[in-house]
Amino acid sequence: MTETISEADIAGAERLLGLAYTARERAQMVGNLDGQRDLAIARRTLPLDNGTPMACRFDPRLPGFAMPHGVDALQLSEPSAPLPSDPEDIAFAPLTHLSQWVRRGQITSAALTELYLERIAALNPKLECFATVTPDLARAEAAAMDSLLQAGVWLGPLHGIPYGLKDLFDTKGIITGWGAEPFQDRVPDSDATVTTRLRAAGAVLIGKTTLGALAYNDLWYGGWTRNPWNLHEGSSGSSAGSASATAAGLCGFSIGTETLGSITSPSQRCGTTGLRPTFGRVSRAGAMALCWSLDKVGPICRSVEDTGLVLAALNGGDAADRGSIAAPFQFDATAGIDGMTLGYLPEAFEEGATDVDRAALAAARDLGITVKEVTIEDLPYASLMMTVYAEAAAAFEALTLEDTDDTLTWQDEGAWPNTFRKARFISAVDLVQTDRLRYRVMQAVAEMMSGVDALIGPFSTGPMLVASNFTGHPCLHIRAGFEDIASRTAASLGAGKLTTGEAAGEKTFTVPHGISLWGQLFDEGPLLNLGMALEQKLGVAERRPTFPT
**Three-state SS for 440?**
helix
Backbone angles phi, psi at 23, to 5 degrees: -60, -40
The superfamily (CATH) of domain 73-382+428-538 is Amidase signature (AS) domain (3.90.1300.10)
Helix (H) or strand (E) holding 73: strand 73-75
pTM value?
0.96
Backbone angles phi, psi at 542, to 5 degrees: -90, -5
Catalytic residue among 109, 235, 254, 262: 262
- List residues bridging with 341 in a β-sheet: 370
What sign does the CA torsion over 182, 188, 194, 199 have?
positive
pLDDT of residue 361: 98
pLDDT of residue 490: 41
Backbone angles phi, psi at 428, to 5 degrees: -60, -35
282-331 pLDDT, tens digit each:
999 999 999 999 999 999 999 999 999 999 999 999 999 999 999 999 99
Residues 6+ apart with CB under 8 A from 500: none
The residue count for the chain: 549
Instruction: Show me where the domains of the chain are located.
Output: 73-382+428-538
For the range 8-16, what are the long-range contacts, defined as Cβ-Cβ under 8 Å and sequence gap of 24 or more?
Answer: 16/425
**238 is an active site residue:** yes
Instruction: List alpha helices for 67-157, DSSP H.
Output: 87-91, 95-103, 109-127, 135-150
What CA–CA distance (Å, rounded) separates 207 from 215? 18
pLDDT of residue 416: 87
Helix (H) or strand (E) holding 44: helix 33-44
Catalytic residue among 166, 235, 242, 293: 166
3-state helix, strand, coil in the chain (%, to 5): 40, 15, 45
**Three-state SS for 160?**
coil
DSSP string, 479-523: EEEEEEEE--HHHH--TT-PPTTT--TT-EEEEEEEEEEEE-TT-
What CA–CA distance (Å, rounded) separates 107 from 30? 75
What CA–CA distance (Å, rounded) separates 246 from 387? 31
Can you state the angle between helices 428-449 and 464-471, rounded to 10 degrees? 100
Catalytic residue among 238, 244, 283, 516: 238
Mean pLDDT of 189-204: 98
Distances (CA, A) of 325 to 297, 336, 368: 13, 28, 35
What CA–CA distance (Å, rounded) separates 50 from 58? 18
322-376 pLDDT, tens digit each:
999 999 999 999 999 999 999 999 999 999 999 999 999 999 999 999 999 999 9
Longest dimension (CA), the chain: 83
pLDDT of residue 506: 76
Q: What is the mean pLDDT of the chain?
A: 95
What CA–CA distance (Å, rounded) separates 345 from 326? 31
pLDDT category at 212 given cuts 50, 70, 90 is very high
Would you say 161 and 99 are in contact if contact means Cβ atoms under 8 Å apart? yes
Pairing verdict, β 204-209 and 219-220: unpaired
* 495 vs 88, more confident: 88
Mean pLDDT of 173-191: 97
Pairing verdict, β 454-457 and 341-344: parallel
- Neighbour count for residue 54 (Cβ, 10 Å): 15
416-461 pLDDT, tens digit each:
888 999 999 999 999 999 999 999 999 999 999 999 999 999 999 8
Residue 502 has pLDDT above 70, yes or no: no
- H helices, E strands: number in the chain: 19, 17
Residue 491 has pLDDT above 50, yes or no: no
pLDDT of residue 489: 67
Can you state the angle between helices 385-395 and 428-449, rounded to 10 degrees? 130
Name which of 24-28, 46-50, 415-419, 486-490 the model is least confident about: 486-490
pLDDT category at 500 given cuts 50, 70, 90 is very low
Distance of CA 126 to the CA centre of its chain: 23
What CA–CA distance (Å, rounded) separates 84 from 370? 39
Residue 498 has pLDDT above 60, yes or no: no
DSSP string, 346-400: GGGGSTT--HHHHHHHHHHHTTTSEEEE-------GGGGHHHHHHHHHHHTHHHH
pLDDT of residue 496: 35
Distances (CA, A) of 272 to 70, 236, 302: 31, 12, 5
Would you say 243 and 267 are in contact if contact means Cβ atoms under 8 Å apart? yes
Distances (CA, A) of 203 to 91, 174, 194, 231, 374: 15, 17, 11, 29, 41
Show the CA angle centred on residue 103, arms to residues 97 and 105, nearest 5°: 100
241-267 pLDDT, tens digit each:
999 999 999 999 999 999 999 999 999
